[in-house]
């Protein structure tokens, strides 16, 4: 029986979590859980020069109420020095000491390259006040891995001290706060070492402190720990040798075992408790450190906020504020006052106000954003009357978490906002939050496989599928498909370890737009480090960590659609004199909904994907709230929860809404009894299963963050049992839980959906009435969205908008609009003809040079600025715009000299000639002589139209001249392939063939391996469904083809037509023929689908007397010039 | 598969893969996605080049003027040689047939210039011979329809010409040259002229002329083995003289025995270090001849020319004659060379340390390391062949607080120098769970433990073994003898773990 001097037994310090990347083999949560299980008195996670993992441990402890069970978790750090000083564990005694430690790490981070930290003993001596220190046995610094190049210079600047001297300095700097670590980890001479340490301790008067220098929570993690070591060193298990730990002893051990090991030095155990008692700092002491945000003329932030809100309300409701609104406002403001959140709202308000002043379109979203308060403050444009979200639910008084507001900005102007924030709060008080990059299935398998010595070939077989693991069979399935045996012991082990590795943090990177802003110095709250981007600093914690500690953060996000809409509004104002904003658009316009119901939504925000477009005609959105549902319903959450079809049936009136109970009717009434939003799922947990609000929130986060700890099971039991106990169907309960599971990973709350729905409506309104404006704006906001420019242009033309080629005499960098005679407008395509009168746009689009590859905006701006009355020759352009021959070549390749009467080939010929006639500043006399006139005519063969189209695709990614499939139509018809537009005329179940360029391949995770293809021919698009079985057989064709012919049964669901593929044929090869096709095109294509390149200009040139050569086909173009290369590969989505 | 532009891509395909629609240059990931069961091998450009060189050598069967040409071609100058094989078409047939038997698909063509033959072989279709004295117009007719690639010009030039609509050789023929040359360089037309035989460039095969060579001719063929060896020794002396003058040593040697009737017999020998000692050199050939035996020499009517060539040589500075010569070293090298000449160098092994926790596997026999051949004449540090393997120096512990310098760190080394061939079971009495033995019986002798350190726990390499972990102890008995013992398995895992003696300390 072991007796402890202190009944609390033992506390483990020196715990390395997996936030010491590629060293620790356990999550912080696992370590804390194990410490609880083993009955430790305390655990001190101390990662390498980082606090990145301590918050998780803290949160886990808090959520499991472990303090009550006698466990304390104290934050610490393992200081690893680059000057040869052995590692030192540092634990702050109080808040001030913690701040000093953060500053110490910050200084080490800032002087090093990203991802490393360079510290010397001198740094610690400067910051040692209030720290309790444990001197470890040796240094674990690794040169190459941790220092990068900068170390060499640094080393010279700070020569290492001899160790005894260093120890002496430490004793002096931290009197009574220095301990000597002693470990019994079954090394080569552990008893001898312990004896020696005792002697050293006695000599220096330092107490000995027992630690197991923990790398894992359980010895079973040894294998993973070895794999991590191998990954770190870039070696395989076979070659790792002594870089691996000799045994699995460095895990958390129960107090009894520690006491046995330290039988010869029992005082080392009680010292751990004395050490623990000295530490009074907890992470709870951070947080609520908002910027003060005083506004001139107001005594308190609350006063300012109330004034701004009232002012905004008056602006919003010029006819007087409705009582409903003012009641809500008063209520919300009271809550804000109670929780002291006024500064937070003022901060967001200020940022939004700045963006507005700069003309940057923005919109807030997130739980708190859709409040009456935010509507009045102008943070969001979603009128809160549309939904009755309760403010409390998001600003919960008992959790004291800061409200969550994300603000989306135009993607190309977000940087201005970021710089404003830096300027306003200073770099010491504002920084970007981190995001923890974790191992995903793919990267985990790749790295683990390398460690196991699997060949590159096998690795790629396991990982490089275009669509990797489907949930169904995972890596094993991929392995089997690649002809490997996943049950072979070697591979099975590798896969098992890879599974264990996935979810491990890999490194910290910068969050896309999360800002943390504080009142006091940020570097005393959390260490800062350099971000990959220059002039940016990033903290060590991610948004969950900040949430948990209650530290303010604002997401400054970039959204392409906002750029598009702003550009659209600008065009509307310039060309139609219609000044519109998000708020001013006519609401609930029936024409807009009519368009949406027809799924005429290419380019529209959110609802343009294949899945959304097939849902629209069924859902038939007719109100704004329908759009909110539409945005939320085609998501993994509702799909996994099997909520989509019940909703559809009820919506279509095929089934009456049923409510499982009266209390749930209140929750689910808006969505016909089917939970679709995250809020509803949470509310069900609260109302029907008896969760407290914070438990429900814990549940949601448990889904997202630590699936690995296995708490899910308990939540599942609790929810299902809770619901069954309240009289609910077990099946319904299970479905609700599944849906929460889906939400955890792809959460889509109603509040976000509402903000997005507004953008859906705005983009659809623009598309509906001004398709010219919308397409032009969309082209100028690329890349974004689901469709390529070719489809956007096609769609615009089908809505009557003429589109003109890029031209040196007409185009700008951006695409532009120009007025045309009504007669010059294109006819509206048959399928949209019933909407023709809704179209108010009267302009045509001139494509901009941004559409042409390889050009730089700067050059084009000069070209435009010096254009004057226009350029009359290539030479004129060359001399006046001072463009280099390389740029001129690009312009020629984009076929932009048509206004000079030159096609691509002629222009290129001339440009290449310019190139060779010397620099333009040589020999002024020769300048007047035209090089072209004196050289003999080369009589180049004319470029066939087919090749022009190919070159258009290659350089502009679209062609206005013709669709590539036109050229092959004769061949296709011979093979019985129909046009896409004719599909509507076939009866259901008919066997048909269509062919087209593959625009999109989609294999949604929720569709169990089914692949959706979208094909495009000269007449329209065809939607193909490939069932998994068929896909396996047609895999090579489906994935590898750019032009594909599919045969299958036609399926019709309302107006949506699909072809269920049975056979598929790769026609990509046929694209090569395009380069010789053209003259006979008239015969095979409808005249309006072709635009002649330059009618009648060219006299035929006889280039080769046929009798001269042996008969042989015209050689193909070199591989990289082949038409097949120019055509789009098709985009793959998951 | 090779890494091209940062991604693994297909570098070459066999027919089957090509039939499945794969193409060179596509990313491995895409290929995999299309054909999951694709069999993939790493590209081996060096191996390919070596194979091509070997084939080039083999082609010297037909003409001495043979050279590798680009990554995939061999050019032969068959001037005056074709008739020996029954004419040009028969020669082509012979070459392609014999190569097919070796497993190579070949396309061969004969033309008046290397450029024309190159184009014909690659783009000529069925036609593979252009008779001599073909008029230029006929050549134009023949080459006109070929793609510009037949000109062997850079791909980007071909691409640019293609943009101008010029895609065949003939497209150039008919056009004024000046504008084209101004834009695409005059090289295009230089190549065109070469192709049409307007200008001729001599074939310039890059022969591997031996670096150093010595030769003896005999009035009549010598047949006796002793005579041959004597001649070789004399040649070795000549060659070494030559090598010494250039401060070089031979790394690859070749004796060519030219038989009176025209057959050539080669004997090659490699050395493990630059060699310039005639006797040692001759000894290598002696060993070789010993191995193949007298009949293996196929002396026949006798050899009338014997040539000794150093195929490759490396810098070997004159050695300082010094008093404490490392003669042992040199004679060891000598031994390795001689054994190697007889049994093959790969069969000679030495013990090398291995980096592992597992003591039995801490060293392993591995082939004697040959130094990587350096390019001839390149100054190079003259390292020893059996460079002392890097045995871990009595591993220095990492920096620690305890090193005051006044303490002896370890009284005992961590491991015995030699281990017992296999661990021998011992009877012990020890305390649970991991206490040291108090006394133990080994080979029927009881030892009383006086001092002990341990346990040092060494877990098995889990990825290849499921053996239990071992706890090692270093023990000293009352008689001062020191042992290395271990317990196999932990008490937690097995109820009755066994103990073993694994080695003795000096």
What is the model's pLDDT at position A573?
A: 94
Q: Which of A427-431, A447-451, B14-18, B368-372 has the highest mean pLDDT?
A: A447-451
Chain A (164-223) residues lying within 8 Å, Cβ to Cβ, of chain B: 164, 167, 180, 186-193, 196-197, 200, 222-223
Q: Is the pLDDT of residue B439 over 50?
A: yes
What is the model's pLDDT at position A389?
A: 54
CA B248 to chain centre: 22
Query: Which stretches of A248-322 are DSSP H helices?
Result: 255-261, 267-277, 301-316
Q: What confidence tier does A30 reach under pLDDT thresholds 50, 70, 90?
A: very high
The per-residue pLDDT for range A933-952, each reduced to its tens digit, is 466 777 788 888 888 888 89
DSSP state of A736: H
Per DSSP, the three-state class of B174 is coil
**DSSP one-letter string for A876-921:** HHHHHHT--HHHHHHHHHTT--GGGT--HHHHHHHHHHHHHT--TT
Q: Determine which of A1118, A1119, A1129 to mutate to test the interface with B (most B C-beta atoms within 10 Å).
A: A1118
Higher-pLDDT residue of A1132 and A1078 is: A1132
Q: Determine which of A169, A449, A459, A460 to mutate to test the interface with B (most B C-beta atoms within 10 Å).
A: A460
Alpha carbon distance, N-terminus to C-terminus of chain B: 54
Q: What confidence tier does A253 reach under pLDDT thresholds 50, 70, 90?
A: very high
Q: What confidence tier does A148 reach under pLDDT thresholds 50, 70, 90?
A: very low
What is the model's pLDDT at position A261?
A: 92
Q: Is the pLDDT of residue A334 over 80?
A: yes
Tell me how long chain A is.
Answer: 1134
What is the model's pLDDT at position B442?
A: 92
Q: Is the pLDDT of residue B26 over 60?
A: yes
- Nearest CA to B276 out of B311, B315, B331, B326 is that of B315
Q: Is the pLDDT of residue A567 over 90?
A: yes
* Whether A916 and B141 lie within 8 Å, measured CB to CB: no
Higher-pLDDT residue of B168 and A1111 is: B168
What is the model's pLDDT at position A1059?
A: 92
Per DSSP, the three-state class of A859 is helix
Is B357 touching A (CB cutoff 8 A)? yes
What is the model's pLDDT at position A270?
A: 93
What is the model's pLDDT at position A144?
A: 53
Q: What is the mean pLDDT of chain A?
A: 82
Q: Whole-angstrom Cα distance, residue B366 to residue B379?
A: 28
List A133's β-bridge partners, or say none.
A90, A178
Is A1109 touching B (CB cutoff 8 A)? yes
Spatial neighbors of A497 by CB under 8 A, at least 6 apart, are A223, A224, A227, A448
Nearest by CB to B20, from A242, A942, A1036: name it. Answer: A1036
What is the model's pLDDT at position A830?
A: 81
List A365's β-bridge partners, or say none.
A406
What is the model's pLDDT at position B381?
A: 35
The per-residue pLDDT for range B154-195, each reduced to its tens digit, is 888 888 888 888 888 888 887 888 888 888 888 888 888 888
What is the bridge-based pairing of β-strands B482-488 and B498-504? antiparallel
B321 CB-contact burial (10 Å; exposed 0-12 / middle 13-18 / buried 19+): exposed
Chain A (447-506) residues lying within 8 Å, Cβ to Cβ, of chain B: 452, 456-457, 460-461, 464-467, 478, 481-483, 490, 493
- Mean pLDDT along residues A693-722: 68
Nearest by CB to B25, from A226, A937, A1119: name it. Answer: A1119
Q: Determine which of A184, A885, A1036, A1130 to mutate to test the interface with B (most B C-beta atoms within 10 Å).
A: A1036
Q: Which of A47-61, A732-746, A993-1007, B79-93 has the highest mean pLDDT?
A: A47-61
What is the bridge-based pairing of β-strands A1020-1026 and A1056-1066? parallel
Q: What confidence tier does A161 reach under pLDDT thresholds 50, 70, 90?
A: low
Spatial neighbors of A130 by CB under 8 A, at least 6 apart, are A92, A93, A94, A96, A97, A100
What is the model's pLDDT at position A1116?
A: 59
* Whether B166 and A167 lie within 8 Å, measured CB to CB: no
Q: What is the least distance, in Å, from the CA of B226 to any CA of chain A?
A: 51
The per-residue pLDDT for range A470-502, each reduced to its tens digit, is 444 566 666 776 667 777 788 888 888 988 898
The per-residue pLDDT for range A608-618, each reduced to its tens digit, is 887 788 888 88
* Whether B401 and A1040 lie within 8 Å, measured CB to CB: no
* Whether B458 and A200 lie within 8 Å, measured CB to CB: no
What is the model's pLDDT at position A684?
A: 79
Q: What is the least distance, in Å, from the CA of A490 to any CA of chain B?
A: 8
Spatial neighbors of B131 by CB under 8 A, at least 6 apart, are none
Q: What is the least distance, in Å, from the CA of B125 to any CA of chain A?
A: 10
The per-residue pLDDT for range A852-898, each reduced to its tens digit, is 888 889 999 999 999 988 888 888 888 888 888 889 989 999 999 99
**CB A1022 within 8 Å of CB A1059:** yes
Q: Is the pLDDT of residue A446 over 70?
A: yes
What is the model's pLDDT at position A710?
A: 52
What is the model's pLDDT at position A157?
A: 44
- Mean pLDDT along residues A295-318: 88
Answer positive or negative: Cα dihedral of A237, A241, A243, A249. Answer: positive
**Contact list, B469 vs chain A (CB under 8 Å):** 247
- The tokens of A44 are what? 């001190």
Q: What is the least distance, in Å, from the CA of A996 to any CA of chain B?
A: 19
Chain B (28-67) residues lying within 8 Å, Cβ to Cβ, of chain A: 28-30, 32-38, 40-42
What is the model's pLDDT at position B88?
A: 85
Q: What is the least distance, in Å, from the CA of B4 to any CA of chain A?
A: 14
B433: cis peptide before it, omega within 30°? Answer: yes
What is the model's pLDDT at position A924?
A: 44
Q: Is the pLDDT of residue A526 over 60?
A: yes
The fraction of chain B above a pLDDT of 70, given in percent, is 83
Give the lowest-confidence range in A180-194, A660-674, A878-892, B22-36.
Answer: B22-36
What is the model's pLDDT at position A869?
A: 87
Per DSSP, the three-state class of A671 is helix
List B269's β-bridge partners, or say none.
B253
What is the model's pLDDT at position A124?
A: 92
What is the model's pLDDT at position B389?
A: 45
Q: What is the least distance, in Å, from the CA of B156 to any CA of chain A?
A: 9
Q: Is the pLDDT of residue A678 over 90?
A: no
Higher-pLDDT residue of A128 and A63 is: A128
The per-residue pLDDT for range A763-800, each reduced to its tens digit, is 999 999 999 999 999 999 988 877 889 999 999 999 99
**Contact list, A85 vs chain B (CB under 8 Å):** 399
**CB B198 within 8 Å of CB B136:** yes
- Nearest CA to A362 out of A915, A699, A759 is that of A759
DSSP E strands: which ranges in A951-1098?
A: 991-1002, 1011-1017, 1020-1026, 1043-1053, 1056-1066
Q: For the complex shown, is ipTM > 0.85?
A: no
Q: Is the pLDDT of residue A44 over 90?
A: yes
**Contact list, A202 vs chain B (CB under 8 Å):** none
Q: What confidence tier does A465 reach under pLDDT thresholds 50, 70, 90?
A: low
Chain B (403-422) residues lying within 8 Å, Cβ to Cβ, of chain A: 403-404, 407, 410, 414
Q: Whole-angstrom Cα distance, residue A188 to residue B414?
A: 7
Q: Is the pLDDT of residue A313 over 80?
A: yes
**DSSP one-letter string for A149-164:** TTHHHHHHHSPPPPHH
The fraction of chain A above a pLDDT of 90, given in percent, is 30
| b/e burial code for range A283-307 (CB count within 10 A of at least 16 → b) | beebbebbbebebeeeebbbebbbe
- Nearest CA to A750 out of A454, A382, A422 is that of A382
Give the lowest-confidence range in A387-391, A1042-1046, B421-425.
Answer: A387-391
Per DSSP, the three-state class of A990 is coil
Higher-pLDDT residue of A760 and A1040 is: A760
């Amino acid at each position: 029986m072991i007796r402890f001097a202190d009944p609390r037994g033992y506390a483990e310090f020196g715990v390395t979590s997996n936030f010491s990347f590629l060293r620790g083999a356990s999550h912080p949560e696992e370590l804390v859980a194990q410490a609880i299980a083993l009955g430790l008195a305390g655990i001190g996670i101390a990662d390498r020069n980082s606090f990145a993992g301590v918050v998780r441990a803290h949160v886990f402890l808090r959520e499991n109420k472990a303090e009550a069970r006698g466990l304390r978790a104290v934050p610490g750090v393992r200081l690893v020095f680059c000057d040869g000083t052995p590692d030192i564990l540092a634990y702050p005694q109080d808040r001030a000491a913690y701040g000093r430690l953060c500053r110490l790490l910050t200084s080490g981070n800032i002087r090093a390259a990203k991802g490393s930290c360079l510290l010397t003993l001198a740094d610690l001596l400067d910051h040692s006040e209030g720290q309790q220190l444990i001197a470890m046995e040796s240094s674990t610094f690794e040169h190459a891995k941790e220092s990068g190049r900068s170390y060499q210079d640094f080393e010279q600047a700070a020569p290492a001290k001899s160790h005894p001297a260093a120890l002496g300095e430490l004793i002096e700097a931290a009197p009574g706060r220095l301990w000597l670590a002693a470990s019994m980890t079954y090394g080569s001479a552990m008893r001898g070492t312990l004896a020696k340490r005792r002697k050293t301790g006695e000599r220096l008067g330092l107490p000995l402190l027992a630690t197991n220098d923990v790398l894992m929570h359980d010895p079973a993690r040894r294998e993973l720990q070895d794999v991590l070591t191998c990954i770190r060193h870039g070696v395989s298990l076979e070659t790792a040798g002594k870089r691996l730990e000799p045994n699995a002893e460095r895990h958390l051990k129960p107090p009894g075992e520690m006491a046995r090991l330290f039988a010869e030095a029992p005082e080392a155990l009680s010292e751990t408790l004395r050490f623990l008692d000295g530490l009074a700092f907890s992470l709870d002491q951070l947080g609520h450190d908002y910027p003060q945000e005083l506004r001139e003329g107001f005594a308190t932030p609350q006063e300012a906020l109330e004034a701004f809100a009232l002012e905004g309300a008056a602006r919003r409701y010029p006819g007087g504020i409705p009582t409903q609104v003012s009641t809500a406002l008063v209520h919300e403001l009271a809550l804000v006052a109670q929780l002291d959140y006024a500064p937070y709202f003022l901060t967001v308000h200020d940022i939004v106000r700045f963006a507005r002043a700069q003309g940057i379109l923005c919109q807030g979203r997130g739980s708190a954003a859709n409040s009456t308060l935010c509507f009045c403050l102008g943070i969001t444009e979603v009128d809160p009357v549309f939904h009755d979200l309760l403010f409390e639910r998001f600003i919960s008084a008992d959790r004291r978490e800061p409200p969550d507001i994300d603000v989306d900005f135009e993607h190309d102007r977000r940087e201005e906002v970021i710089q404003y924030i830096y300027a306003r709060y200073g770099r010491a008080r504002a920084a970007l939050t981190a995001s923890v990059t974790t191992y995903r299935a793919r990267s985990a398998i790749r790295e683990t496989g390398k460690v196991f010595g699997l060949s590159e070939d096998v690795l790629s077989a396991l990982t490089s599928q275009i669509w990797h693991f489907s949930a169904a069979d995972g890596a094993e399935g991929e392995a089997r498909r690649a002809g490997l045996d996943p049950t072979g012991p070697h591979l099975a082990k590798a896969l098992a370890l890879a599974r264990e590795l996935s979810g491990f943090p890999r490194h910290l990177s910068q969050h896309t737009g999360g800002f943390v802003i504080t009142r006091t110095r940020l570097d005393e709250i959390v260490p800062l480090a350099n971000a990959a981007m220059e002039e940016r600093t990033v903290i060590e914690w991610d948004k969950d960590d900040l949430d948990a500690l209650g530290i303010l953060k604002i997401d400054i996000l970039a959204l392409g659609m906002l750029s598009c809409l702003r550009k659209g509004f600008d065009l509307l104002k310039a060309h139609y004199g219609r000044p519109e904003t998000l708020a001013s658009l006519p609401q609930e316009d029936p024409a807009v909904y009519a368009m949406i119901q027809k799924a005429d939504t290419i380019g529209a925000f959110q609802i343009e994907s294949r899945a959304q477009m097939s849902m629209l005609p069924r859902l038939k959105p007719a109100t704004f709230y329908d759009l909110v549902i539409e945005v939320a319903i085609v998501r993994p959450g509702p799909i996994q929860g099997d909520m989509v079809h019940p909703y559809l049936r009820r919506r279509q009136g095929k089934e009456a809404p049923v409510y499982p109970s009266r209390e749930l009717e209140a929750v689910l009434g808006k969505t016909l009894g089917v939970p679709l939003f995250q809020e509803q799922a949470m509310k069900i947990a609260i109302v029907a299963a008896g969760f407290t609000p914070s438990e429900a929130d814990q549940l949601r986060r448990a889904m997202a963050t630590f699936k690995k700890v296995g708490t899910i099971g308990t939540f599942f039991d609790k929810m299902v049992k809770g619901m069954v106990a309240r009289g609910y169907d077990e099946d319904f309960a299970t479905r609700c839980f599944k849906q929460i599971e889906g939400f955890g990973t792809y959460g889509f709350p109603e509040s976000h959906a509402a903000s997005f729905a507004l953008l859906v409506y705005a983009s659809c309104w623009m598309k509906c009435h001004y398709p010219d404006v919308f397409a032009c704006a969309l082209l100028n906001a690329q890349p974004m969205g689901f469709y390529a420019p070719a489809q956007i242009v096609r769609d615009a033309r089908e809505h009557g908008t003429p589109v003109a080629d890029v031209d040196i005499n007409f185009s700008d960098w951006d695409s532009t609009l120009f007025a045309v005679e009504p007669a010059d407008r294109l006819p509206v395509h048959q399928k949209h003809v019933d909407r023709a009168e809704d179209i108010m746009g009267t302009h045509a689009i001139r494509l901009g040079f941004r559409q042409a590859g390889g050009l730089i905006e700067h050059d084009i701006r000069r070209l435009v600025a010096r254009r004057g009355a226009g350029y009359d020759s290539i030479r004129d352009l060359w001399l006046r715009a001072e463009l280099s021959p390389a740029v001129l070549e690009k312009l020629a390749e984009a076929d932009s000299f048509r206004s000079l009467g030159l096609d691509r080939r002629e222009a290129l010929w001339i440009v290449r000639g310019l190139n060779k006639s010397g620099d333009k500043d040589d020999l002024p006399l020769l300048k007047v002589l035209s090089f072209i006139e004196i050289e003999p005519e080369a009589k180049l063969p004319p470029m066939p139209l087919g090749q022009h189209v190919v070159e258009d695709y290659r350089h502009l990614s679209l062609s206005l001249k013709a669709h590539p499939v036109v050229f092959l139509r004769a061949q296709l018809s011979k093979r019985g392939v129909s046009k896409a537009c004719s599909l509507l005329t076939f009866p259901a179940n008919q066997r048909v063939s269509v062919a087209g360029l593959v625009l999109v391949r989609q294999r949604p995770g929720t569709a169990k391996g089914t692949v959706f293809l979208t094909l495009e021919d000269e007449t329209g698009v065809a939607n193909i469904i490939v069932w998994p079985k068929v896909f396996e057989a047609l895999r090579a064709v489906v994935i590898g083809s750019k032009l594909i012919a599919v045969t299958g049964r036609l399926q019709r669901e309302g107006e949506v037509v699909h072809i269920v593929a049975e056979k598929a044929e790769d026609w990509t090869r046929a694209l090569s023929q395009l380069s010789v096709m053209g003259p006979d095109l008239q015969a095979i294509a409808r005249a309006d689908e072709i635009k002649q390149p330059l009618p009648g200009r060219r006299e035929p040139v006889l280039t080769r007397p046929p009798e001269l050569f042996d008969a042989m086909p015209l050689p193909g173009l070199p591989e990289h010039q082949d038409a097949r290369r120019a055509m789009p590969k098709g985009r793959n989505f998951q | 598969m090779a890494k091209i532009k940062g991604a693994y891509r297909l570098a070459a395909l066999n027919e089957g893969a090509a039939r499945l629609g794969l193409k060179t240059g596509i990313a491995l990931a895409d290929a995999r996605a299309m054909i999951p069961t694709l069999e993939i091998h790493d590209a081996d450009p060096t191996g390919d080049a070596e194979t091509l060189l070997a084939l080039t050598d083999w082609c010297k069967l037909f003409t001495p003027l043979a050279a590798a040409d680009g990554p995939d071609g061999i050019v032969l100058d068959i001037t005056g040689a074709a008739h020996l094989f029954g004419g040009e078409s028969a020669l082509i047939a012979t070459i392609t047939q014999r190569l097919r038997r070796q497993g190579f698909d070949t396309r061969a063509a004969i033309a008046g210039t290397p450029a024309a033959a190159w184009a014909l072989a690659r783009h000529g279709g069925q036609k593979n011979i252009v008779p001599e004295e073909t008029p230029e117009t006929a050549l134009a007719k023949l080459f006109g329809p070929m793609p510009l690639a037949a000109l062997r010009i850079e791909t980007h030039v071909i691409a640019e010409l293609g943009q101008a609509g010029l895609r065949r050789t003939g497209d150039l023929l008919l056009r004024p040259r000046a504008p084209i040359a101004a834009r695409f360089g005059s090289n295009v037309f230089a190549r065109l002229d070469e192709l049409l035989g307007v200008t001729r460039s001599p074939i310039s095969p890059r022969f591997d002329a031996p670096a150093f060579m010595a030769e003896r001719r005999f009035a009549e063929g010598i047949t006796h083995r002793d005579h041959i060896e004597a001649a070789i020794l004399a040649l070795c002396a000549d060659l070494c003289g030559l090598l010494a003058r250039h401060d070089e040593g031979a790394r690859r040697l070749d004796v060519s025995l030219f038989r009176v009737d025209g057959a050539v017999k080669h004997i090659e020998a490699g050395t493990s270090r630059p060699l310039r000692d005639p006797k040692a050199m001759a000894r290598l050939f002696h060993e070789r001849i010993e191995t193949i035996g007298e009949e293996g020499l196929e002396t026949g009517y006798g050899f009338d020319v014997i040539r000794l060539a150093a195929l490759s040589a490396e810098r070997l500075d004159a050695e300082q004659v010094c008093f404490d010569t490392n003669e042992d070293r040199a004679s060891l090298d000598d031994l390795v060379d001689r054994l190697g000449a007889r049994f093959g160098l790969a069969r000679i092994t030495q013990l090398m340390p291995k980096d592992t926790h597992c003591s039995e596997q801490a060293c392993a026999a591995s082939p004697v390391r040959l130094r990587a051949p350096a390019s001839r004449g390149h100054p190079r540090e003259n390292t020893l062949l059996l460079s002392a393997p890097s045995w871990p120096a009595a591993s220095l512990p990492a920096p620690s607080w305890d090193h005051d310098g006044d303490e002896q760190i370890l009284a005992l080394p961590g491991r015995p120098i030699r281990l017992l061939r296999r661990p021998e079971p011992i009877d012990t009495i020890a305390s649970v769970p991991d206490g040291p033995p108090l006394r133990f019986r080994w080979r029927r002798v009881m030892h009383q433990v006086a001092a002990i350190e341990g346990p040092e726990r060494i877990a098995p390499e889990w990825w290849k073994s499921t053996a239990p972990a071992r706890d090692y102890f270093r023990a000293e008995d009352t008689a001062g003898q020191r042992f290395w013992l271990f317990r196999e398995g932990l008490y937690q895992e097995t109820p009755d773990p066994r103990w073993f003696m694994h080695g003795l300390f000096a």
